Structure formats: C-alpha cells, structure tokens
Copies of this chain bind each other. A is one copy, B any other.
Amino acid sequence: MKQHNISAILKHIWKHDQISRIELVESTGLTSGTLTNLTHELIEAKVIREYQSVSGTGTAGRKRVLLAFDPHYYRIIGLDIGRSSYELVLTDLTGKIIKSMSGNTKAALGPEGFMGMIGTNLEELKKEVIAAGHKILGLGVGVPGPIDYASGSLIAPPNFERWDGYPLQQVLESRTGIPSLIEDDARTSALAESWYGLGRNGMNLVFVTMGIGIGGGVISGGEIVRGANGLYGQVGHMTIEPNGIRCECGNRGCWETVGSIPGILRRWGGSDIGELMHAVRDGKADARQCMDETLQYLEMALVNIFNMYDPEMIVLGGRLYPYLNPYLTEIQERMRSRIYAFAKDRVLLQPSTFGPSQSAMGATAIVLDALISRPVEILS
C-alpha cells in the first residue's frame, strides 16, 4: 500500500516535472496528511527535493513550494553492450548525463574479455561517484535479446554466439556490488523514449532498432511489454521474404536477414555500409537497387508493425538509421498509402531522440522505472 502510494506520487512528479503538494493531493487522491508524510520521507531519502517558485514580480509575487526529482544525490549507470560497440553513461535522477564513455565491444574476446575491461571501468566509476558524495542507485544494462529474465542471462542472441547463456546480471553484481538489471536493447531504447523522450505522456509506441540485428520494443499504456517468453516485439524476425534464407533464430526470410546491416551488405555483395552509401550517392546502379529494395522491405515491415501493434508512433533508431534518415518522409508517405484510409494521417514515424546513446539512456531508464514502480523495494 505504501509502495503503491509512493509510486503514484513519483509518477505524478515525473509527469509534471515539478508540482505542488496541493496539486499532488488532487491528482493522487491521497489525504494531505498522508501526502505530507510520504513526500517528507522522499525528501529525506534525497529522491525528491522542494524549492520555492515565485510567479509574478515584486511584492505581488506569489510564492509556491514545488516538488521535483532531486538531481544532487543519486546516480544511475546505464550500459549498452552492442555487438560492435558499447556505451556507458552516468546520469542523475532527472535523466541528465553527467559522464559518458564508449568503445569497441571486441566481440571476438567474448563476454569474459569484455567483462574484464568494463568491470574495471565500472569499479573506477563507482569510486568516483562515492568520492564525490553521491550514491549509485543501480546499473541498467541493454544487450541484444532474447533474455532469460529469471537468471539475468542472454539466450541465443543471433550474431552474438559467445554470449549465449552468459549470466551477465550475476557477474556484474558480484564484480561491482551494484544492483543490476538487464534488458533487451530494443526495449531499453523504447524505455528511453517513454521516460525521457517522445513518449513522456504515456504514448503507445514501438521502437525499432536497426543495426547488426533488428529489434523492437513496444510500450503500451506507458509499460514495456515482454510477452510469455520475453519474445514480444521481435519485429526483426517476421518473415518478409517467403523464399528467403535461414535466419539464426530458426525462421526463414526474416526482415533481419535482408534489412539489417549484414543483410543489406550480403544483398549488395560488399562489406562496408558507408561504402554502399557512397555508391548510392554516386548513382551506381547495383547500389541504388540494393537501397530501393532496403526501403521496400522497410516499408513492408513498418506497415506490418502498424497493422499489428497500432501504435501512436513508430520510432526508428540504431546504427543503420542515420543512413536511412534522408528517406524518412518518403517512407512515411509510402506507409500511409498502404494502410486503412481512415488511419493513414495518424501514422507517425520519428527518429530516436538520443541517437547512438539511445540504448544506454534506456538502460538508465530501467533503473528509474524500477524506482518509480517499486520505490520501497529499490530504496531499501
């Protein structure tokens, strides 16, 4: 009950950025006594702070005490482990980035080699944070899915074989002593939009991340959806080419086999996505045809996503996206011509808010999400 009430208070403060106790009483339905006690506890815990706001000027100025998330004490670490690169961010409780670093995942080294390196980084970061008088609330991690949430490990991630079954969450916690949460990188990306970006008003959205793989994260009524086996939203594994090649997931002709960076390069017969884009700009026929097909697959996949999830917005991101960005308006128009006429003007395609830092920001959002949903548990 207490957890439920504190959670409601934190949700309303987050939604409004800053809010008075009177407004909180109205919007939560709590008594002003309960509200005063619980906000006092949250201020003591340094999760929220109060400050005076003056509207109007001079002696006519009206003073109000407002509540907002406190950026001064808690820190959250977000780590995105991609197949080719990683990114680490340190944020305060308002989602502001205080520090970030990135580098090569060195996929060939496998998880042990990577952990040797990142573990050292995390230990140093933890020392710095503590030395500055702050406290780390948690470590969120985004990785290529699927994920076994019970054990905190990766399950058979396509094109990332050496990480199959690696007990990432447990290794991180025992190495760093920081409470850790792991999540599919498409879901962290979707959470970044939901908490900090385009979906702050609780929109239904689908985040599609395109890079070495293709993933999807679906937010419905402000909540991430995971499905019965953690596979909900695996949009990269819809068949889009009935006679297509075998995919690492077991299916054939998946969008990922033709629409991911390796899939595009295989169709083109090259080895560098930048080179392909140069060839497209230079008007090379084979490159143009490959790009046309890429856009056709994208259009088809997005229409399927719209017809199956009916979101208010589809957000596109990942390493491939910057190359597709020039075509965004065209793709949206082409989608609109293929969906129910009554809904076509409601199709909205958007680029991701945080670009290459999307999943790392989302990794911090998992921790924020946990704090706001289960505050008593997370703060204890």
Q: Are A251 and B342 in contact (CB under 8 A)?
A: no
Q: Are B307 and A237 in contact (CB under 8 A)?
A: yes
Measured CB to CB, the closest approach of chain B to A31, in angstroms, equals 13
Which of A37-45, A187-195, A332-340, A363-371 lines the interface with chain B?
A: A332-340
Measured CB to CB, the closest approach of chain B to A207, in angstroms, equals 14
Q: Are B342 and A146 in contact (CB under 8 A)?
A: yes
Q: Are A308 and B251 in contact (CB under 8 A)?
A: no
Q: Are B304 and A249 in contact (CB under 8 A)?
A: no
What's the Cα separation between A309 and B220 when bound, in Å? 13
Q: Are B155 and A342 in contact (CB under 8 A)?
A: yes
User: How many chain A residues have a CB neighbour from B under 8 Å?
Assistant: 48
Which of A116-124, A170-178, A238-246, A269-277 lines the interface with chain B?
A: A238-246
Q: Which of B237, B300, B338 interacts with A250 by CB under 8 Å?
A: B338
Q: Are A341 and B310 in contact (CB under 8 A)?
A: no
Q: Are A311 and B228 in contact (CB under 8 A)?
A: yes
Measured CB to CB, the closest approach of chain B to A306, in angstroms, equals 7
Asked if A233 lies at the interface with its beta carbon under 8 angstroms from chain B, I say yes
Q: Which of B146, B237, B240 interacts with A242 by CB under 8 Å?
A: B240
Q: Are A340 and B250 in contact (CB under 8 A)?
A: yes
Q: Are B249 and A339 in contact (CB under 8 A)?
A: yes
Asked if A55 lies at the interface with its beta carbon under 8 angstroms from chain B, I say no
Asked if A58 lies at the interface with its beta carbon under 8 angstroms from chain B, I say no
Asked if A285 lies at the interface with its beta carbon under 8 angstroms from chain B, I say no
Asked if A229 lies at the interface with its beta carbon under 8 angstroms from chain B, I say yes
Quick one: closest B residue to A311, CB to CB?
A: B228
Asked if A232 lies at the interface with its beta carbon under 8 angstroms from chain B, I say yes
Asked if A135 lies at the interface with its beta carbon under 8 angstroms from chain B, I say no
Q: Are B340 and A249 in contact (CB under 8 A)?
A: yes
Asked if A346 lies at the interface with its beta carbon under 8 angstroms from chain B, I say yes
Q: Are B251 and A303 in contact (CB under 8 A)?
A: yes
Please give 15 more A-B residue pairs, beta carbons under 8 A apart, in addition to A230-B310, A231-B340, A250-B340.
A146-B343, A156-B340, A220-B225, A229-B310, A231-B343, A232-B309, A233-B308, A234-B310, A235-B307, A239-B303, A239-B304, A240-B242, A241-B242, A242-B242, A250-B341
A interface residue numbers (CB < 8 A to B): 146, 148, 155-156, 204, 216, 220, 225-235, 237-242, 249-252, 296, 300, 303-304, 306-312, 337-344, 346
